[in-house]
Amino acid sequence: MTIAANPLRPPPGAPRPYHFPPFSRHRLANGLTVWLVPVEGATLASVHLLADAGAAAEDEGQGGVAALTAQLLVTGTKRLDAAAFAEATERLGIEMSSESSWDSSRAAFQALPDQLEPGLALLAEMLREPRFDPGEFERLRAERLTDILQARSEPGRLADECFIAHLYDADTPYHRPSAGLPETVEALSVADVQAHHASHYAPGLAHLIVAGAFDAELVLRAAERELGTWNGSGPGHRAITPRPAGGRRVVIVDRPGSVQSELRIGRIGIDRFDPRYFPAIVETTLLGGMFWARLPRRLREELGYTYSIRCGFDPRRAAGPFSTSTAVQTEVTAPAIAETLALLEAAPQAPPEDDELDQARTYQVGVFPLRFETTFGIAAAIEPGSATARRSRRSTGSRPSRPPLRSSTRASCWCWRSAMHRPSAQTSRPWGSGR
């Protein structure tokens, strides 16, 4: 058998035009906002209920209550215990999920169009009449505590926790994991979960999003029937003003015998509404967001210090962290930190070259539609207040297309570099075998 390579492989073509599906917004009398996103050619519908009940809404000393509340929602209702609730979802051919982040909590399922109404009824029952069984609470709390303690035995997760703990001051909620700390989770009770649910799961603070194959009138009637009498009010999202823990510092977590060091270098970044959002995406792509970017090219290809190094933002309603992360062999910990800092500190000195800027923009424009390949991804993109949705709607009317990634210029990226890469703001978090 003969195998021949084709030396005349055609170059990649220009990205095809992409338009986000048109959507409409409706508001029920109780304040619940309903977003409908019909998707041509879809065979399923994704239903998301977004509540303003994320970790940022937690009371002081109750870290982890948002995550536990979200987990407990799918363990039954007042009418259905955990087994009966699981059987109900199986009969409908759906899987109900619920999770929380810093900014919100999300309950979701996917269904065929003919199971959309009963699925929505079950979702509404779960939200309005949760069971919060004490036995299920104890089980999930124990699992959460085990996971938190296990994280501290894993170098990467421990480095992440140490990074944010020393990046933000103690009065900024972002200084600890959104799932809580051992001492806060251990102190939680069923009453705390019930209080969090009562305060933050309310129609005026919630959004129902339906994307895919559905009849709009049928969905609106079902939403009114199942959720129109839902009542209650809450304090809304707590404003967070991130404050740094201090100036430039080096924090070492020593574990003798480790063959690798986990490194975290960064500073407080941007929020989801920052006008530099899209230039920042392009900038982090060319700096450390892809295999050919500056950081991996230097530390992996030229020096052989690491297999992978990346940098990026975690934008939230308030400014989340900007971080550079990698794992290196213990003996090159110090030179790897020096090389990484040198590249970060050199960034403000000049705007990016035209070719690397074009590569970064082309990559981001190309992968942008991939996140919307499924109805679940489309529903997730409708999250109210997200920078992508907000700016896309502003630039294209009611049909978000590719956001202004392509319009990011050398000047806009350079201005962002100047703001983000001041050496005095860098923070390094090595984890491994100390010297």
Identity of residue 395: S
The predicted structure's pLDDT at residue 314: 94
Q: The sheet that has 97-100: what strands, in order across it? A: 24-27, 33-38, 206-212, 45-51, 105-111, 97-100
Answer CATH for 249-432 from 3.40.190.10, 3.30.830.10, 3.30.1330.20, 1.10.3720.10: 3.30.830.10
The predicted structure's pLDDT at residue 397: 36
The answer to whether the beta carbons of residues 178 and 54 sit under 8 Å apart is yes
The CATH superfamily holding the domain 24-227 is Metalloenzyme, LuxS/M16 peptidase-like (3.30.830.10)
Identity of residue 18: Y
Alpha carbon distance 179, 99 (integer Å): 11
Residue 287 has pLDDT above 60, yes or no: yes
Residue 425 has pLDDT above 70, yes or no: no
Look at residues 28, 233, 47, 213 and name the one whose alpha carbon lies nearest to residue 124: 47
Residue 232 has pLDDT above 90, yes or no: no
The predicted structure's pLDDT at residue 393: 43
Alpha carbon distance 337, 275 (integer Å): 30
The predicted structure's pLDDT at residue 142: 98
The answer to whether the beta carbons of residues 44 and 110 sit under 8 Å apart is yes
pLDDT digits (tens, 9 = 90+) for 199-212: 999 999 899 999 99
Alpha carbon distance 85, 397 (integer Å): 41
Alpha carbon distance 28, 73 (integer Å): 23
List all residues 6 or more positions away from 2 whose beta carbon is below 8 Å from its beta carbon. none
List all residues 6 or more positions away from 246 whose beta carbon is below 8 Å from its beta carbon. 169
Flag the least confident range among 8-12, 147-151, 309-313, 330-334. Answer: 8-12
Alpha carbon distance 164, 320 (integer Å): 10
The predicted structure's pLDDT at residue 404: 63
Average pLDDT over residues 27-55: 96
Residue 424 has pLDDT above 70, yes or no: no
Identity of residue 345: E
pLDDT digits (tens, 9 = 90+) for 84-113: 999 999 999 999 999 999 999 999 999 999
List all residues 6 or more positions away from 8 whose beta carbon is below 8 Å from its beta carbon. none
Q: What is the average pLDDT score of the chain?
A: 87
> For the chain, where do the domains classified as CATH 3.30.830.10 start and end?
24-227, 249-432
The answer to whether the beta carbons of residues 433 and 255 sit under 8 Å apart is yes
**C-alpha torsion 371→375→376→380, nearest 10:** 70
Residue 383 has pLDDT above 90, yes or no: no
Helix (H, G, I), strand (E, B) or coil at 402: coil
